[in-house]
Amino acid sequence: MQAAAALGRSMVEAGLAACANLLPGMRSIYRWDGRIETADETVVILKTRADLLEAVQQAVRATHPYECPCIAALPVCGGDPAYLAWIGQSCRLPAP
């Protein structure tokens, strides 16, 4: 949880994300190096702009303790206009 909180805070402080949601208590079962592994993890959801995805990925890879962290982008197909505008404006890097 501490690593997830540090990651989320660093993304918001750097202006790469408007918000980081931490969801503790996830139990993962996965195959790694030919073995089935189980781990307790914390999901971090970063709310950012599509044009910042590459920078976010680089920052996560640079700080995440996993060799292969789960980084997945989900498209937003709609939402409250004021909320979406807040996300866009809260990221410090200027929009293209």
**Domain-located, residue 62:** yes
Q: What is the pTM of this model?
A: 0.89
Each residue's pLDDT, cut to its tens digit, for the chain (96 residues) gives: 899 999 999 999 999 999 999 999 999 999 999 999 999 999 999 999 999 999 999 999 999 989 999 999 999 999 999 999 999 999 986 555
Q: What CATH code is carried by the domain that includes residue 63?
A: 3.30.70.120
Residue 43 domain boundaries: 2-90
What are the helix (H) ranges across 2-68? 2-13, 53-63
Strand-pairing partners, residue 29, are: 38
**Domain-located, residue 95:** no
- Segment holding 22, helix H or strand E: strand 19-32
**Domain-located, residue 26:** yes
**Domain-located, residue 42:** yes
Domain count, the chain: 1
